[in-house]
Structure 1
């Protein structure tokens, strides 16, 4: 098990380095005059040249990359070009908002998808057809459309939840839960459809296996067979889809945070990209990849725990 974890972390580190390298050369070799963008069109050539030298933009791209990589390996991702705030501090101040949003959406997706998949797989009929239609609709409708519909119904018409804004949990837990309800729902709906569809197929397949028939002949109740044996054997496929959905939720949170005015790293990435604050953009990429790698390792360990057939040693 320790060897497996070490291998996944090493492969994750290689992936992180590859993505960071590709992103660095992509955004820094765009050909744009970054110093001119920062100072504005009214700046003189002397001011632009001085700013470029201050930021190290007058150095060859390879030297800048090596310098950035050496500092990043020590945990220093540089400072924002516009606020002079440390990139790590800017991201860590916003990361809890995004992680809370995504994790809550993931948990709700997993629970709701499990209930829907079990009902559809056991009862079949019209409920199964409804789930399949819901799955197609969940894939087809973008998250921001769902968010707009939720705002229209629950914030503008019913006036029971706020349309935008974020209240930190320590300040007011009740208002925090209200401020995050609609964003989480907007993120979770598409994931519920994807996970439920996959889990339903897996449950149907497992229920047709010989060991389930054997359990029935031994007198075990349907509930015990379903929850203790069938669901556990089917959980690995659902968790795999759920881990893939985590990546989609991280990217989807960018739009949702903008729509609901949440101070997460998604809105930070959008604003930094619009400004041309490249150190912050690089920092967001690095932290996002790290979070995804850690979550994938945890999911693999959980799958191994639930299903001994895929367990690693």
Structure 2
């Protein structure tokens, strides 16, 4: 990626960060509920209520509240939970491993399985290709939380071979960690794999119809080499696009799946924080997911630039 293009993208990302952070702050602040009232209770005096509002800074104009929040953010201070009084950074630090493990494991599994099925479907466009189309429609249409409930009912409740909920850190053993991650990862992988497989099959099939593939076959290049090295590379741009969309989609998909399987991650915790009107926690979690999306877009842009360099070489 040329330096000028990278600098322009970086500037736009910084502007986007401030715009989205302001929108997050305003929208979360406007959600129904009152954090001060939730803390003091419905029977507290008005004086006590006003004191708590002043302590939390809720009596300040919204723009001043945002200034205090963004200033603390650049100092590494995400504020304190209005419910527990614990620093938000500590709350999220205790919950970051389950969410990251779920997102990374799902992304890797969906990427490998989706690309492999797509390439095989392009090489064998008969039954395999049609199965990829059907699987894509079904996997994209069925909600992930419903898939999770079905898997939990079958494998955890009826067969009793996997746990229904919870999370075991990987340092406590790979076996228990895999047992707790299996159902959530499969739940999130199904939809992403189906869509990626279809897009990969279509992109690779289009490349296999190009004249340069005919030329490679005429020179005796093996079908496996043509398929996995040349056709797949030519189809890389749409595949990378879908992979980027998959990572972005995981920021919302993990919220539902963590809630279904009671995984103590910060994605699922955002639901209870919202219900309790714990504004600092909700703002921090939303901002973290925003940063993930921005970084994902940067990685996709870098990969695009790398692919263009190889094509022009």
Secondary structure in 1 aligned to 2:235? helix
Distance 1:94 1:6 in 2: 34
**Counterparts in 2 of 1:272-311, with a 5 A limit?**
272-308=273-309
**Counterparts in 2 of 1:38-187, with a 5 A limit?**
38-187=39-188
Distance 2:14 2:265 in 1: 24
Distance 1:154 1:11 in 2: 47
CA change 1:88–1:162 in 2 (3 A) is: same
Distance 1:46 1:158 in 2: 57
By how many angstroms is 1:146 displaced? 0.7
By how many angstroms is 1:3 displaced? 4.2
By how many angstroms is 1:58 displaced? 1.2
Distance 1:6 1:98 in 2: 31
Residue 235 of structure 2: aligned partner: 234
Unaligned runs of 5+ in 1: none
Secondary structure in 2 aligned to 1:170? helix
Aligned length: 311
Secondary structure in 1 aligned to 2:288? helix
Larger mean Cα displacement after TM superposition, 274-283 or 286-295 = 286-295
Q: TM-score, normalised by structure 1?
A: 0.94
Tell whether the 8 Å contact from 1:232 to 1:307 is kept in structure 2 after alignment: no
Secondary structure in 2 aligned to 1:76? coil
Tell whether the 8 Å contact from 2:136 to 2:194 is kept in structure 1 after alignment: yes
By how many angstroms is 1:24 displaced? 0.9
Show CA shifts across 1:4-30 (max 9, x none).
444333322222211110111122234
Tell whether the 8 Å contact from 1:80 to 1:87 is kept in structure 2 after alignment: yes
Distance 2:47 2:141 in 1: 52
By how many angstroms is 1:39 displaced? 1.8
Distance 1:63 1:92 in 2: 27
By how many angstroms is 1:70 displaced? 1.7
Show CA shifts across 1:177-205 (max 9, x none).
11001101100110001111111110011
Tell whether the 8 Å contact from 1:272 to 1:281 is kept in structure 2 after alignment: yes
RMSD: 1.7
Distance 2:94 2:4 in 1: 34
Residue 212 of structure 1: aligned partner: 213
Distance 1:300 1:31 in 2: 38
Residue 260 of structure 2: aligned partner: 259
Distance 2:75 2:311 in 1: 36
By how many angstroms is 1:76 displaced? 1.5
CA change 1:88–1:214 in 2 (3 A) is: same
CA change 1:177–1:6 in 2 (3 A) is: farther
Tell whether the 8 Å contact from 2:35 to 2:82 is kept in structure 1 after alignment: no
Secondary structure in 2 aligned to 1:192? helix
Tell whether the 8 Å contact from 1:38 to 1:276 is kept in structure 2 after alignment: no
Distance 2:32 2:159 in 1: 50
